[in-house]
Structure 1
Amino acid sequence: MIFTRRHLVASAASALFLFIAAPLQAQDQQGEPSLLPVHEERLVIETSEGSFDYSVELALNGRDRASGLMFREQMDDDHGMLFRFEEPRQITMWMRNTLIPLDMIFIRGDGTVAGHHADAVPLSEAVIASPEPVLFVLELNAGKAEEMGLAEGDRVSHPIVAEAAGAQ
């Protein structure tokens, strides 16, 4: 077969299109929000201001933690996501592909709050680090930590947290 200049240009254009379109198509498929099941028992946070309860999705493995709340356009006011790690460690998070502002609450293995980061900026790649080694991170809509009067030492109750505390 003889290739003319026109054939070569068309072939190159097709190859370029496939090179560009394939990652975009994969990104669209990965860009769908991954909805994790909401745990049947509510998570409770006890602060000096009172008791606050939330329905939480559980991110218990690496795949679920990696996707977290990415690509979600909204989250119900009384919902959140609880991330559990294999062992207490310094946790670093970011907001890449996360569209809603969040409060991140860092929780020790005994269920006490180690600290929090308020109003994480959507789509930011700035690293947000726990103040000390923790076992859990709870993500809530931005402003919830302030609304609750959340402080270091406040207590978080949930079966997954109780299970970890009992193992320590």
Structure 2
Amino acid sequence: MGSRLGALTLAWGLALGATPGFAAVLCDDGAVWLRGDFGKVRFGVDVADDAAERARGLMFVEDMPSSRGMLFVYPSAQPVAFWMKNTLIGLDMIFADETGVVQKVHANAIPGDLTAIEGGGDIRYVLEINGGLAAQMGIQPGAQLRHPAIEGAAWPCE
């Protein structure tokens, strides 16, 4: 089972843009990296870093490639909650603190559901990806995000 998981992680890493051996991990505004026990993976992202962009999020998006997501950036750590109003695709929400360390993963948010999905009290970054990917990849609390917008990151851009 362990080698199967390793092969799956490598396959996902390559499919999502990781370099063989994961030697070079570049930072740019259009991508977020995650690392953890599963290895390293990359998602191309749109960044929502103002109130209007965060309010719209992924509403009305009909389809999103598995290698894409949206990174929500707040001006400071705070309690955050999301809902799925006008959201047409299932999503995983990855909530991270001031340093980009994942605090909570909410799996498979239901399209159109108006129930509040709370991320926690000290959240500054939220990554939304297609529903089910976080579990398939092994993304869980303790993983680290890397992106130029993450100031004072546990895994900083070089």
TM-score normalized by structure 2?
Answer: 0.76
Q: In the superposition, relative to structure 1, how do residues 81 and 152 fare at CA in structure 2: closer, same or farther (>3 Å)?
A: same
User: Which structure has the bigger radius of gyration?
Assistant: 1
User: Conserved in 2, the CA contact under 8 Å of 1:47 and 1:148?
Assistant: no
List 4+ stretches of structure 1 deviating above 6 A.
none
Tell me the amino acid that sits aligned with residue 47 of structure 2.
Answer: L
SS in structure 1 at match of 2:107: strand
Paired residue for 2:110, among 106, 117, 121?
A: 121
Which sections of structure 1, spanning at least 5 residues, go unmatched?
1-38
Q: Does 1:77 align with 2:66?
A: yes
* Bigger strand share: 2
How many residue pairs end up in the alignment? 127
- Please tell me whether residue 112 in structure 1 is matched to residue 101 in structure 2: yes
CA pair 148-132 structure 1, distance change in 2 beyond 3 A: farther
Tell me what 1:133 maps to.
122
**Contact 1:113 / 1:156 at 8 angstroms: preserved in 2?**
yes
Map of 1:6 onto structure 2? none
Q: Which amino acid aligns with 1:88?
A: A
Percent pairwise identity: 36
Query: What CA deviation, in whole Å up to 9, does each residue of 1:56-94 have, x standing for no partner?
Result: 000000000000000010001100000011111110100
How far apart, CA to CA, are the structure 2 residues paired with 1:68 and 1:40? 17
**Matched residue of 2:149: which SS?**
helix
Deviation at 1:132, TM superposition (A): 3.2
Local SS of the residue matching 1:115: strand
- 1:67 corresponds to which letter in structure 2? R
* 1:62-73 equivalences in 2 (<5 Å): 62-73=51-62
Aligned pair in 2 of structure 1 residues 74, 48: CA closer, same or farther (>3 Å)?
A: same
SS of 2:70's equivalent in the other structure is strand
Question: 2:35: which partner in 1?
Answer: 46
The letter for the 1-side match of 2:79 is: Q
SS at match of 1:134: strand
Deviation at 1:131, TM superposition (A): 2.9
Please say if residues 42 and 53 of structure 1, whose CA atoms lie closer than 8 Å, have aligned partners that are also in contact.
yes
**Displacement after TM superposition at 1:144 (Å):** 1.2
Residues 1-168 of structure 1 aligned to structure 2 (within 5 Å): 40-161=29-150, 163=151, 165=153
1:14 matched residue in structure 2: none
RMSD: 1.5
Supply the distance in 2 between the matched residues of 1:156 and 1:44 (Cα, whole angstroms). 6
- Gaps spanning 5+ residues in structure 2: where? 1-27
Q: TM-score, normalised by structure 1?
A: 0.72
